[in-house]
Each structure stands twice: as structure tokens, then as C-alpha cells.
A and B are shown apart, each in its own frame.
Chain A
Amino acid sequence: MKRYSAFAIAKNALSHHQGWERAWAKPQMKKEYDAVIVGAGGHGLATAFYLGKNYGITNVAIIEKGWLGGGNTGRNTTIIRSNYLQDPSAAIYEKARSLYETMSQDLNYNVMFSPRGVMMLAQTEAEIRGYKRTAHANKLQGVKTEYIGPQKVKDLCPIIELSGPRYPVLGALWQPRGGTARHDAVAWGYARACSEMGMDIIQQCEVTGVTQSRGKVTGLQTSKGDIKCKKLGIVVAGNSGHLAEMAGFRLPLESVALQALVSEPIKPCMDVVVMANTVHGYMSQSDKGEMVIGGGTDGFNNYTQRGSFHHLEETVRALIETFPMVSRLKMLRHWGGIVDVTGDRSPIISKTPLSGCFINCGWGTGGFKAIPGSGWAMAELMAKDEQTGLGAQFGLNRFQEGRFIDESVAAGVAH
């Protein structure tokens, strides 16, 4: 694999850029693998990458129903932050955030990570207390955040209207090392690195069944034929329940639609990410100049990858109060993704009742930011076959044991 560099660009310019090779191979599926990952989104590819990088397991196939990075990895608002309240979440999201910082170098692929800072606005008294509490917790966890007053908010983001009639801005939780990254590039960068390690990425291949013998997974049936595997990782977000059913167990998950939209591109006006959780909207400006806006989830199970119009209207209405200038913007595109939400709004990285089968799901509305950390933890789980390390607390058994990682209360919002 040729390395990407300024020198490579100059060299390829001489041959009119005809000499670039494919970023990842298009292999034939083999009959047997040491490990098979279902789902070539960010989380699945990151799992495969760290299986190879951290544990030397490279006889791996990544099976994808559609195309790589075509699910929620390509459908989010690209926000990266780690200001969570509970220790296990802060640890895994902070690991992810720190891996994002060096990802472009690690993968030799520009993921355009931009640590521009993320602020979560406090717009009620309760939120002020909540975010101060989170700031204190983050201090203990070693996550760098700070509670800031309204004037600092205005300094950091001049287009904010502080004295909105319904929800004035009273302060914010500020994480200066949070930011955004190019979402597709994260999937592509991991795919390229996995392919380089000799892993097979099989696209347009739907899993139709899980084969097992004596309580142990032995392989998969797919639309491109059967494969054998010693270990199976299910990393399919919204479709987790469907795959779990094939493997013979149930999950405490519900799939709902979360929507986002982008405006026409405008000149740079906002160089931070702002989340307004009380009114349920968040916004950042992409490198192209589009305002990227995210909203809330619909309140019912949904697999349609589109959400309700009234939710969209609520999101935009809320943002207009805090950012009056967006009222003149035309919205260009609008889309929805299917997110799998657990009872405590924390993910599941777990062994399953089927031996050799592991599941990584339940990232809900905040999976993109966790991709490298999630892959890191899932690879550790799959390689060691024990619930340990970064993902130790995220086992399925926590629901039975009442040992929740309760982030639904911590954030006060779907996130």
C-alpha cells in the first residue's frame, strides 16, 4: 500500500493522478476466518482494526449488507466529546477522543479531526447544577472540561443570542478538546488500514443466519454463501435485534429514528460546536460552510431512516431562538438514521449467551464520537474472550444486576 503524503501528491500529479491505487481491496470471500465482524460501519471497522493492531489477529472478514460506512457512520453530525458523568462512559469516550487526536497519523488518512471545542448550553437552573456536577466529575475522571458563564459563551460563539425570551443562555459546559471529524473518512481510513493488514471487507453481503453447534458459534450464512468462523462480532447498530434473533438471544434495545439536516453553505460564522439540550438541538459549521443541525429522536420504534416533520420543526424553531441568524438560511438536505437505544442510554459491549459470539450495540444517538474507543474495547473483548478493560462495565448482565451506567439522567437528553 502506498503511503499518502505531500510527496505522493506531487509525484502523482506528474501522471495526472492516474496512478493512485484502490484504497482498499475488493476480495473474494474465503471459506473460513479466525474472526468475522458483521457490520462495516465505523464501530465494526475499528473493531477489526484494533483486533489486528493490538492483538495480531488479521485473518478477519468484515461483512456488510450495504456499503461500507453507509449506515449511521455516514448519517451523523460528527460531534466528538467525552464530557460524560459516569466513570465507565467518561473512560471509553475519553479514550475515543484521544484516539481521534492521532487518528490521521495512525491511519495515514486525513480524518480532518478538528478539536474546535464543544459547549453544552445551560438554559435552566437545573441544567446549571447538572453541568457543574458533570464538570466536577470530569475533573476526577481526568477529562478536561470547565463550566463557563454566559459572557465566555458569547466570546466563544458570537452568533448566540444570550437573552432568548423562553430559554436564556445561563452558562455552558465547555470541553475545549472536543470537536468534529470527517465522518466518512473515519470509515474509509479504518477500511484502508484493515485491508492493508490483509483483512477482507465484503460489501453487499447480507447475513441470513448464524450457525452454531453445542452453544458455540461456528459460522454464518450469508447471501454470498456460508463462512466458518471461530469468533463472531455483531456490530450492526439499528439491526442488532434482528441479528441477535438469528443468534438466538434477545437484547434490551429499541430502534428509533434520529434526524439531522444541513443548511446551504455560508461564510465561517461559528468555530465551535454548540449543543442546546433543553430545547433539543445542536449545531456546528462544516468545513464546506454548511450549518450542521441535529435534533431529537422520534418517540416510537422506526426502521424507515426518516423522521417526523414536526420533530424537525421543533429543532429548527428551538435553534432560531438561540441563533436568530439561522432563520434566514435555506436548508439543503435532511436525513434520518436508525439508532438503537438501551434502557440506561449506555452502550452494550458484551459476551452473549452464544459462546464465541460478541455484541457491540446500543450506542443510541451518540455513537460516532465513540468509534475508536468502541473498537478498542470490542477488540479486547473478542481477543481475550472476557469482560475486561475499557468495556468491562458494559456487559449485558448489567440489566439483570441493576448495575446501570445511567447516562439518560446525566445528560438529560438523547445524545
Chain B
Amino acid sequence: MLNFRCPNCEITADETDLHCDGQAHIERFGAGASDDDLETYLFMRHNPKGVHFERWRHVFGCGKWFNAARCTVTLEVFGTYSAQSLVPPKSLINKIKKKRPEWEGFVK
């Protein structure tokens, strides 16, 4: 079972306390955007075999959103951080790079 430390309430929560809402850091487009941009925003998703950045919500807890970095192959959770971040924190990226030297880095 996945375990996350919620950065909002500092509680370590199980997967059953949480809800995943897919890829984090999606750039949003609205009215007036091009077809390509709108399609990317609505449907195109990163689907990596490896390091993935996601939005999670601590539904059966504080109820707040946070972001997490997780490996989709080993299910290892690298860390969590505030949902207000536009990009993952440097410290987390360095931590992942240390563990996964072959990882190409964060791609928006």
C-alpha cells in the first residue's frame, strides 16, 4: 500500500485515506486557446514508466490537496510537496536524481 506524508497536516496517510487526481503541473488553457493547446490541457497526459508527478488529495483527513513524486514501476514514493508549487522543489528533484541517475528530469 502506498504511504504519503501530507505536507498540509504532516500526517503520514495510507493510500485508502487519499485520492489521486492524476498528473500535476498541467498548464491550463481556456477560451481563445488553440485547438492543440486545449487538447493537450484536457487529454494529453504524461504516462511515464518511472518517475511521475501527481496531485493527491487527503480526502479522509485534512481534505487538502498536495503534490507527490512517485515511481510507477516500483511504487516508491520519493516525496510530497505543496500543491501551490508551480514546479517540483529542487531538493526533491535532486533526491530523485540521486536515486535514479538515468531519469531525464522533470518535464512540464
**Which residues does A use to contact B, with CB under 8 Å?**
239, 241-242, 250-255, 299-304, 308-310, 340, 342-343, 399-400
Contact = CB atoms under 8 A, between A and B. Distances in A.
A310 B15 contact: yes
Nearest to A306: B75
Contacts of A343: 42-43
Max chain A Cβ within 10 angstroms of own Cβ: one of B45, B70, B73: B45
Interface string B20-57: 10100000000000011011001111011100101000
A254 B52 CA distance: 12
Residue among A251, A252, A310 having the largest count of chain B Cβ atoms under 10 Å: A252
A308 B1 CA distance: 6
B95 interface: no
A303 B72 contact: yes
A412 to B, nearest CB: 19
B43 A301 contact: no
B16 interface: yes
Interface of B: 1-2, 15-16, 19-20, 22, 35-36, 38-39, 42-45, 47-49, 52, 54, 70, 72-75
A343 B43 CA distance: 6
Given A242-B49, A310-B15, A302 B43 contact: no
A253 B45 contact: yes
Given A308-B15, A309-B1, A253 B35 contact: no
B74 to A, nearest CB: 8
Contact of A400 (B39, B54, B70): B39
8 contacts: A242-B49, A252-B45, A253-B47, A300-B22, A301-B22, A304-B72, A310-B16, A399-B39
Contacts of B42: 343, 399
B19 A299 contact: yes
Nearest to B75: A304
B50 to A, nearest CB: 8
A372 B90 CA distance: 49
Given A251-B44, A254-B22, A304-B73, 19 more contacts: A239-B49, A241-B47, A250-B44, A252-B39, A253-B47, A255-B72, A299-B19, A299-B20, A300-B54, A301-B47, A302-B72, A302-B75, A309-B1, A310-B16, A342-B43, A343-B42, A399-B43, A400-B35, A400-B38
A304 B75 CA distance: 8
Contacts of B52: 301
A252 B72 contact: no
Nearest to A404: B43
Contacts of A251: 44, 47
A309 B20 CA distance: 16
A252 B75 contact: no
A301 B72 contact: yes
Contacts of B73: 303-304
Contacts of B20: 299-300
A248 to B, nearest CB: 14
Contacts of B19: 299
A42 to B, nearest CB: 22
A252 B26 CA distance: 14
Which 4 residue pairs across A and B have the least CB separation, nearest first? A252-B43, A241-B47, A300-B20, A400-B39
A305 to B, nearest CB: 10
Contact of A301 (B16, B36, B54): B54
Contact of B1 (A250, A310, A342, A399): A310
